[in-house]
């Protein structure tokens, strides 16, 4: 049995990244792909979005939302998403540049 406390025992949220060896939050990437903004997210914006996702406290709700939208699709991030404004801005910029 490990003597190190688990992150849940310390009250920390699981980040959903599948381990801290990966720099990007898996849920953030799934959200960006679901909203068709993944190809628009780069550089420091991508790093900051990942950091916000790692700090999220609504991971269970996010996972459920992503599971549901993987079936029915979505055009906007949920209100609880810490990156909702960023994803909305990216989608709006992409729509505006396509005209």
Cα gap 30→82, rounded to integer Å: 14
44-75 pLDDT, tens digit each:
999 999 999 999 999 999 999 999 998 888 99
C-alpha distances (whole Å) from 64 to each of 33, 40, 71 are 16, 24, 11
Look at residue 93 in the predicted model and tell me its pLDDT: 87
Asked whether the whole model's pTM tops 0.85, one would answer no
Positive or negative CA dihedral for 52, 55, 60, 61? negative
Where exactly are the structural domains of the chain? 26-97
5-55 pLDDT, tens digit each:
444 333 334 455 455 444 578 999 999 999 999 999 999 999 999 999 999
- Residue 91: CB atoms within 10 A of its CB come to 17
């Amino acid at each position: 049995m490990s003597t190190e406390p688990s992150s849940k025992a310390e009250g920390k949220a699981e980040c959903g990244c599948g381990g801290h060896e990966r720099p990007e939050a898996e849920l953030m990437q799934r959200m960006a792909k679901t909203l068709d903004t993944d190809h628009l997210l780069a550089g420091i914006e991508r790093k900051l979005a990942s950091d916000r996702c790692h700090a999220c406290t609504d991971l269970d709700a996010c996972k459920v939302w992503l599971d549901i939208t993987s079936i029915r699709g979505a055009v906007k991030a949920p209100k609880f998403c810490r990156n909702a404004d960023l994803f909305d801005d990216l989608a709006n910029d992409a729509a505006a540049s396509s005209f």
